[in-house]
Amino acid sequence: MELPLSIGDVSSRSGLAVTALRFYEANGLITASRTAGNQRRYHRGVLRRIAIIRAAQSVGFTLTDIVEMLADLPDDPFPDTEHWQAMSTSWRPRLDARIETLERLRDRLDTCIGCGCLTLAKCGLLNPGDRAARSAEGAAFWNNDQSQPPSPDAFQRIGPQR
């Protein structure tokens, strides 16, 4: 029988700081049992779970997203093929949406990312007269899927307004 891992062991094996592990535990991403002396002990499956968390973070999933994604994944014993399949299936639409957003961003960088998406008060390129402010607050063209930024050809370049 394998012995449980201390928080220091998990930190060393995962490359995460002890404070990050405590944060993950406090937010329901990982679980630990406690010894009689109230020390945390983790099963070895936590290392796989941490790898999943870090992969999800690397593609920009929020903490809430990750908690939801891991909700049906058992802590211990190790997840089986069925669990992995279900989790990967739930990730696919979210990853596709992220990819679409990144592609939109990449494709529009050369037209001036600041114009409209930040609802600038005065913009002579894509958001003259701050038209985007009427559709949404903040990054209107990125936060609101139904509010697409106008094409660069839609407006005549009038130059910066002062």
User: How confident is the model over 136-142, as a mean pLDDT?
Assistant: 61
Higher pLDDT, 159 or 95: 95
Do 75 and 22 have their domain in common? Answer: yes
Q: Is residue 9 part of a domain?
A: yes
pLDDT at 61 over 50: yes
- Listed as own residue / partner, the contacts of 69-73 with beta carbons closer than 8 Å and 24 or more positions apart are 70/29, 73/49
- pLDDT tier at 155, thresholds 50, 70, 90: very low
- Helix pair 81-108, 63-70: axis angle to 10 deg: 150
Do 38 and 60 have their domain in common? Answer: yes
For the chain, what is the domain count?
2
Residues spanned by the domain of 119:
112-154
pLDDT at 68 over 80: yes
Do 67 and 30 have their domain in common? Answer: yes
User: What per-residue confidence (pLDDT) applies to 21?
Assistant: 96
User: What per-residue confidence (pLDDT) applies to 137?
Assistant: 66
Q: Is residue 161 part of a domain?
A: no
Q: Among the three residues 62, 87, 104, which one is the final residue of a domain in this structure?
A: 104
Model confidence over 88-116: pLDDT tens digits? Answer: 888 899 889 888 888 877 776 665 554 44
Q: Is residue 160 part of a domain?
A: no
Q: Is residue 162 part of a domain?
A: no
Do 150 and 134 have their domain in common? Answer: yes
